[in-house]
Every structure is written in C-alpha cells, then in structure tokens.
Amino acid sequence: MSQTGTSAALANDPATAIRAIVDRIENGLIEIRRDIHAHPELGFEEVRTAGVVSAELTRLGIAHRTGIGKTGVVGIIEGGRPGPVLAIRADMDALPILEKTGLPFASTKEGLMHACGHDIHTTTLLGVAAVLKEMAPQLAGTIKLVFQPAEEGIGGMAAMIADGVMDSPKIDLALGFHNHPEMAAGTFGYVRGPTLAASDKFDIVVRGKSGHAAYPHTTVDPLIAAAHLVTQLQTVVTREVNAMHPAVVTVGAIQGGTTYNIIPDSCLIKGTVRTLHTRARDTAEAAIKRLAAGMKDGMRVECDVSYRRGVPPLVNHDTVLDPAISGVRKQFGEAAVSQGEPNLGGEDFALMAELVPGFQLRVGSSQPGRRDRLHNSAYQPDERCIGFGVQALSRAALEILG
C-alpha cells in the first residue's frame, strides 16, 4: 500500500490499517527480537543493540541520533500538522543472569540474558516506528523515539536527560510500556496515579569492638547489634508509615565476621526502601536514620548510614493515560483492557514522567500454559506481544496526537 493509500485508510479505519501494517512487518520484528535476545548487553554496553536500532531506523528513513546517554538512540518522526512532542520510550539492556530456556535463539553470552523482556521492548518500539512513519500525515505533532540504555538500576534515563533527550525538540508528553507475564498476550493494563515505587538503597555500617568469642564482655559485638537493628527496621512500615501508603523496607544482605571464634569490628547491612508516596518516602528515610543512631545508647555501637535515593515514584498522568487507553480500546475492544493495581517495583521512566505528563502501558506477554515471571532464567514471553504492543502503542499515539 502506498503512503497516500495508507493515510486514507488510517483516516477511514485506523484499526484495520494499523493491523495491516503490523501483519506485514511482524515476522521481521520477531527476527530482530531473536537476534537481540541472542546477543544481550548490560547497561551502557548496548553497542551492538544500538547498532541494530540505528540500522533499522535508517532503513525506515527515520532521522535519528546515537550516543545519547552513552549508548542511547533517539529518532524523530514529524507529523503532518503542528502539535506537541510525544516521546515513546523503550529500554535496551539485559541482566547478569545465566539463561536456562533452551531456546534455539538463547543467549550466546555466558551469564547474560534478556530476562526482563527489554529485547521485546526494543523490537516493539522499532515496530511502532515503522507504523508511525506511515501514519505521520495523520499526526498533529512530533514523535520522539527514545531507545534507552541501562534501565536496570544503573541510571540510563538520568544519563539521557543529562545529554538533552528532553530537548531539541522539547518533549511535552511521554509514553512508556512494559511487558507483564502475569497478563495474557493481547491484553493490556493501566493504573491511575502512582503505579510504580520510588526505589531507594541504604548501607549501614555497624561499628563495634572486636575480640575473642569466648570473652564477649571485653568486646562490643556489632553482629548482635545488627540483628537487633534489622528487627527494628521492620517497625518502620508497620508503625511509622501511614497504613494507606504502601511501603516496603527490605534488608537484603548482612555481611560481617570471618570465622567462628572472633567477634568482628564491624558489620554491614544493605537494604532497599520502596514507596509510592513522598511522605512515606521521607518517613522511612528519617526512621531508618533515627533507629540506627539510637543503637549507640542501646547497644554501644556506632552506625554509619548511607541512604541513597534512586528513581522517584512513577505517577501516571491522565493527560496521557486517557487518550492512550481510549486508543487501545478502539484497537482491541473493551475486554482487552483492564485497570490494575500499583506495585513496588521501580522504573526509571519515572524520571521522564517527573518532568512531563507521562503514562506507562502494561502489555500482556504470557504464553498459554506458562506461568513466567520477570528476572527469571527461564523467562519466555509470548512473541505475539510484540505485534500486539505495536498496534496498541501506535493507536495510542494516534489518539494523543490525532
């Protein structure tokens, strides 16, 4: 179909026209996904993946820049009429996990795997790029395609923002998405307001006085103090945070001591705090610091606290959510879309959505008969979610900029 014919079809029957484009490109997208899956790269090392993205955007005739936030790629599609700039973002990095799927296109890199579906995300946004390139005359505004490195806790979005991704042209609205293996492929979800948590980290070094295990009265035992502190930290959520504000304080590691008969000088506690609301976040940080400081009088130890705030909560904005969900419903029907609940995972798309109104769409990715989960060595998403995601996001963009 010519671009003129596509434009006319889009104007008359967008659902059928978008579906026809996706049917034409879907097999090629699956090939790209399998290639990316077989060659996973960690955060800020996505050189090959960025090259695949750049080559595909070049083939589609989409102007783009590379090296944004070190290995990020940004493409631009100008609409047929003036309007706002809508960013659509996908992440590209893999995880340090040994793959155990046994798939013919499994990771060729020992100890690395796309276990969070970022290969699905990258490929889906390439499909969206292909559709929106043909849809461009119907758009009142500009599409900014953001292929982000290093989402998995390493600061990729912060690096892209520092490199000017929000400018030239200035982004007005942001649309993100993530695959969800608890939802069937071909279904979609959304959450109003806070949807993902602020993700903070803390390290507490508990300092005592070392000595022989047979003479504990001559020491100040940091291990006993650390054990007491860990149990006290469990009261932060249950007794200090508003019960209507979801929060988690989790201690993930305790490291201290070297052998059986020595009480060590120090012990390290490592943990994370997840909150959906600013007040809960502030309360948790203050309580952790106060409880650690109180160990000096109670247990005779000194506690050095390093508390590092990570990404803020991801708050979905109705300005983007409402037209996006309207578009997905028009493309797939009412039954395919459901309202979900927030969770306490973290996502650095929140940094973009903190600067402009944003919304993250949940894209079902489970295979029939499987009960997969993210960050798992055997994760196998249903590849049909690529084509479904392309349709949903393309229609959402048409509604937002139509």
For residue 45, give the CATH number of its domain: 3.40.630.10
**Beta-sheet strands, E only, within 294-353:** 302-308, 314-316, 337-339
What was the pLDDT predicted at 5? 57
Q: Which of 308, 339, 363 is the last residue of a domain?
A: 308
Flag whether pLDDT at 3 surpasses 60: no
Cα–Cα distance for residue pair 212/341, rounded to 1 Å: 52
Q: 233 and 101, same structural domain?
A: no
Flag whether pLDDT at 8 surpasses 70: no
- The secondary structure of residue 309, as a DSSP letter, is -
Q: 104 and 11, same structural domain?
A: yes
User: Residue 215 sits in a domain of what CATH number?
Assistant: 3.30.70.360
Q: Is 265 exposed, middle or buried (0-12, 13-18, 19+ CB in 10 A)?
A: middle
Tokens (6 digits) for 48: 């090959």
Q: Which of 245, 278, 308 is the last residue of a domain?
A: 308
The stretch 116-130 carries a mean pLDDT of: 98
What was the pLDDT predicted at 224? 97
Flag whether pLDDT at 6 surpasses 60: no
Per residue in 337-392, pLDDT (tens digit) is 999 999 999 999 999 999 999 999 999 999 999 999 999 999 999 999 999 999 99
Q: 202 and 191, same structural domain?
A: no
Per residue in 171-225, pLDDT (tens digit) is 999 999 999 999 999 999 999 999 999 999 999 999 999 999 999 999 999 999 9
Q: 212 and 188, same structural domain?
A: no
Q: 112 and 46, same structural domain?
A: yes
Local confidence band at 153 (pLDDT 50, 70, 90 cut-offs) = confident
Q: What domain count does the chain have?
A: 2
The domain of 168 spans 3-196+313-401
Q: Which of 239, 274, 308 is the last residue of a domain?
A: 308
Q: 296 and 221, same structural domain?
A: yes
Q: 337 and 271, same structural domain?
A: no
Closest CA to 389 of 359, 358, 365, 357: 365
Tokens (6 digits) for 166: 């929000």
Cα–Cα distance for residue pair 325/317, rounded to 1 Å: 12
The stretch 103-108 carries a mean pLDDT of: 98
Q: 190 and 204, same structural domain?
A: no
By mean pLDDT, which of 7-11, 89-93, 105-109, 379-383 is the weakest? 7-11
Local confidence band at 402 (pLDDT 50, 70, 90 cut-offs) = confident
Local confidence band at 7 (pLDDT 50, 70, 90 cut-offs) = low
What was the pLDDT predicted at 206? 98
Flag whether pLDDT at 329 surpasses 80: yes
What was the pLDDT predicted at 78? 98
Flag whether pLDDT at 1 surpasses 80: no
